[in-house]
Structure 1
Amino acid sequence: MKFQIQRDRLVNGVNDVMKAVSSRTTIPILTGIKIMAHEEGVTLTGSDSDISIESFIPKEEDGKEIVNIQQAGGIVLQAKFFEGIVKKLPMDTVEIEVHSHLQTVIRSGKSEFNLNGLDVTEYPHLPQIEEDSVLKIETNLLKTIIRQTVFAVSTSETRPILTGVNWHIENGELNCVATDSHRLAMRKAPISGGNGDKSEAVIPGKSLNELNKILEDTSDELEIVITENQVLFKAKHVLFFSRLLEGNYPDTSRLVPAESKTSLTIGGKEFLQAIDRASLLAREERNNVVRLSISEEGGVEISSNTPEIGKVVEEIQRKSTDGEALNISFSAKYMMDALKVFEGAETNIQFTGAMRPFVLRTTSDDTILQLITPVRTY
């Protein structure tokens, strides 16, 4: 194998596939990056057997040559060292050549590295996915959906299914739900393609976070293929495979209350800043609890009290309040996470009592919903 390649394109490709490479794998060859040079260009692959990422660098793009293949072939190189080398090479062009006994030479300008390679035939094959039903969604929209839901997945392995986001697709609508049993994030969005069948998949939160880092901000459509135990995301030059979580996701539709006793409409940005200030004195080990009080007259107050530190009270300007008076306590972190999703939009909060979960929505968009369980403080 021998080829020359633009260094910046190689660095970008390596950055993408490194997100799937783990140093803690039980399969030694997976600590490496698979490099294949072929007629169309160069393909890089990284995998930890849960996530696999393939990045393709074409021979030319927009009339410019990116890769010059002199001899096709393949090699697996230790990811940690290969990544470090390509990022620090001196010139804009890199030459990679494999000699006998898998000795690999990496040259750029007057710099030359020799790395011991591994046999490419021993690298596990990527999952084979039948593409009989392909879904399509705008890349920007998918990135937004991930950002608005994935933060609410559970980080505890006691219920592994909750470490993923549940995707439900029916009648051209994608409904994504994440919950750690203390809070819930939901986002609905249109999705095209598919064969019309209803489908459901629980995608690990870790996979979606890594996918979000790789995807570019673009309005281009992205293709998604869901099978029984894998999902494949196909972007312009990147294939991203992830295993799905096994098991049944809990029915979360029953968690969202149908009616409310108290309603509060408030500026999202101002409310977020007030919660942030109140949480400054809230003790970490008590999950930084903040108290919200709505008086009979409709006045709104945020407070936090930690006996050994002090207390904070702030009156909040509200757009409107409706219904019964209320005193409720909740995690400041959960509330701030939820409000950040709304990006400062005017927010409506529906309460059904001091110990019942409450629901947040923006007044302008009913496709996003956040639910938070209050904290008992006595």
Structure 2
Amino acid sequence: MQLSINRESLLKAINLIAKAADKRHNMVILGNIKLQLSESQLILTASDLEVELTSTLKLPAGACVAAGTTTLPATKLKDICKSLPAQAQINLTTQENERCLLTSGKSRFTLGTLPSEDYPSLGNPENITPLIISRSRLTDLIHKTQFAMAIQDVRYYLTGMLFDVSQQQLTTVATDGHRLALARSVIDVSSDLNMQAILPRKAVIELERLASELGKMLGDKDNPVTLSFGREFLQVSLPFGEVDSAGQVSDDLVVTFTARLIDGKFPDYRRVMPSNTDKLALFNQEKMTEVLRRVAILSNEKSRGVVFNFATDGMVEVRANNAEQDEAVEVIQAKYQGEPMELSFNAAYLQDVLGVIQGDVQMHMSQSNASVLVNQLGDEFHQYVIMPMRI
């Protein structure tokens, strides 16, 4: 295999997929990127057997000197390309004894390779259900819920995000058992389509990263994204070529995202949404964020507990203390409807929710030991549930 390519083109293609490579995996080859070179294109693949990212790069005439395939260490290849001068020309040539020579200007690097035929493929979705949604809405659905995913849990399905299609809406849900985040968007599908799929944590983070990267390229423009759900996999193709004046992205570089879905039953999130709430508090988001940030400094390091004491005059006392007998107290103004009550929250859970809300914050409550519904005033498409604590 022999390739001559511009540094910027190769580095962009590598940067978009390199995070999927896993050098800590039991299979050593998964720390490598697979290169497949033909006359017209270069295909780069990185995978950890849960998420597979592929960059397909169209090549100019003469870039492919000799077609072939190989695998190269992902981190080393990325760091070498990054260290070379801008607009440098990179030459890659495979040699005998599983070596690859990379030259650019007066620089020369020899890298170890592993046989490309040993590189595992994740596969492609079968019996596809395609969902078309705008990139900005997809980013919103993931960004405003992903923080509630469990990091480690024996209930493995909680370490992912639910994509639920019903009543011509796509709903994303994440929960770790202590809090729940939900976002929904109207989509153009048949009214009788009902479908659920659970996307693993790493796949959720990578899909959001790719959609955000595309958003940076497009600026205030938007573009449709097709989510191809199969029985075992989700596949998404995103264009990363040049952007024209109309906001259209060329297919000179296309990244294909493939992820293995979690095989499990996600809990019925509709059952945990609080109902029959008879108390309502309305806060200014910025003021509440500041108060919570200050008071939480003296909260217990393990429980992170903060107490809210709601009075009928609309003054809410927020306080925290810890094992060293330190205490922080601050009063914040709110519009409150209901009887006086006291609630305790994990400050971090509430801060995560406040971090994705832009306007005034509503808290719907019933009892001091019942879950609380939090949402932005006038926004029914994003809802958050937090379980109170016992302190």
Q: 2:364 pairs with 340, 347, 350, which one?
A: 350
The answer as to whether partners of 2:167 and 2:191 remain within 8 angstroms in 1 is: no
Q: Which residue of structure 2 aligns with residue 187 of structure 1?
A: 183
1:214 to 210, 214, 218: 210
Is the 2:168–2:193 Cα contact (8 Å) retained in structure 1?
Answer: no
State the AA in 2 paired with 1:177.
V
Partner of 1:244: 261
Alignment of 1:91-130 (within 5 A): 92=87, 93-130=89-126
| Residue 186 of structure 1, CA deviation | 0.3
In structure 2, the residue corresponding to 1:222 is in which secondary structure?
strand
TM-score, reference length from structure 2: 0.89
Percent identity for Structure 1 against Structure 2: 27
Structure 1 counterpart of 2:14, one-letter code: V
Equivalent position amino acid for 2:355 in 1: K
Write the distance in 1 (CA, Å) between the matches of 2:269 and 2:339: 27
CA RMSD in angstroms comes to 1.9
Residue 40 of structure 1, CA deviation: 3.1
Query: For 1:132 and 1:242, how far apart are their aligned partners in 2?
Result: 14
| 2:231 corresponds to 1:234 | no
| Equivalent residue, structure 2, for 1:328 | 343
Residue 39 of structure 1 is matched in structure 2 by: 39
Once the 2 structures are TM-superposed, how far is the Cα of residue 107 of structure 1 from its aligned partner? 1.2
Partner AA of 1:85 in structure 2 = I
* 1:8 and 2:24 aligned: no
Query: For residue 248 of structure 2, what is the aligned residue in structure 1?
Result: none
Corresponding residue for 1:340?
Answer: 355
Provide the rounded CA distance (Å) in 2 between the counterparts of 1:91 and 1:178: 42
What are the equivalent positions in structure 2 for 1:53-202 lying under 5 Å apart? 53-59=53-59, 68-90=63-85, 92=87, 93-130=89-126, 132-192=128-188, 197-202=193-198
Distance 1:350 1:195 in 2: 31
1:281 and 1:309 in contact (8 A); partners too: no
Give ranges in structure 2 of 5+ residues lacking alignment. 240-253
Confirm or deny: 8 A CA contact 2:307 2:318 kept in the other structure.
yes
Q: Is the 8 A contact 2:312 2:336 kept in 1?
A: no
Q: Is the 8 A contact 2:163 2:197 kept in 1?
A: yes
Once residues 196 and 87 of structure 1 are traced to their aligned partners in structure 2, the CA distance between those partners, rounded to angstroms, is: 50
Q: Work out the CA distance in 2 between the residues paired with 1:79 and 1:95.
A: 17
2:125–2:232 contact (8 Å) kept in structure 1: no
Deviations 1:245-302 (A, max 9, x none): 11111112111121212100111111111111110111212x2111111113332221
1:20 aligned residue: 20
Q: Which position in structure 2 is the counterpart of 1:253?
A: 270
Distance 1:91 1:335, change over 3 A: closer
Deviation per CA, 1:325-368: give whole Å up to 9, x if none. 1111111100000111113x111110111000000011131100
> Deviations along 1:155-211, whole A, 9 cap, x unmatched?
223211110111101243101111111000000012345896311101112211122
What's the secondary structure of 2:350's corresponding residue?
Answer: helix
1:266 and 1:230, CA in 2 relative to 1: closer, same or farther beyond 3 A? same
**CA-CA distance at 1:307 after TM superposition:** 5.5
Residues 1:290 and 2:306 are matched in the alignment = yes
CA–CA distance in structure 2, aligned partners of residues 158 and 130 of structure 1: 29
Q: Which amino acid is 2:347 matched to?
A: A
Q: State the distance in 2 between where 1:335 and 1:212 align.
A: 22
For residues 2 and 314 of structure 1, what CA distance do their matches in structure 2 show? 67
Worse-matched range after superposition: 303-312 or 28-37: 303-312
> Partners in 2 of 1:329 and 1:255 — Cα distance?
19
By how many angstroms is 1:36 displaced?
Answer: 1.3
- 5+ residue gaps, structure 1: none
Q: Which moved more, 1:292-301 or 1:96-105?
A: 96-105
Q: Is 1:371 matched up with 2:379?
A: no
How many angstroms does 1:12 deviate by?
2.1
1:235 is paired with a residue whose SS is strand
Alpha-carbon distance in structure 1 between the residues aligned to 2:208 and 2:346 = 27
Tell me the secondary structure at the aligned position of residue 313 of structure 1: strand
Whichever residue aligns with residue 226 of structure 2, its letter is: E
Q: Sort the Cα spacing of 1:50 and 1:307 in 2 relative to 1 into closer, same or farther, 3 A.
A: closer
CA distance in 2 between partners of 1:376 and 1:229 (Å): 40
Taking the aligned partners of 1:266 and 1:366, their CA distance within structure 2 comes to 17
Deviations 1:296-326 (A, max 9, x none): 33322211123525212211122x2111111
Q: TM-score, normalised by structure 1?
A: 0.92
Q: 1-side partners of 2:136 and 2:15: how far apart?
A: 20
Q: Aligned equivalents of 1:85 and 1:7: distance in 2?
A: 10
Residue 101 of structure 1, CA deviation: 4.2
SS of 2:120 mapped into structure 1: coil
CA contact (8 A) 2:22 2:30 kept: yes
C-alpha separation in 1, matches of 2:44 and 2:112: 17
Secondary structure in 1 aligned to 2:125? coil
Distance 1:326 1:209 in 2: 38
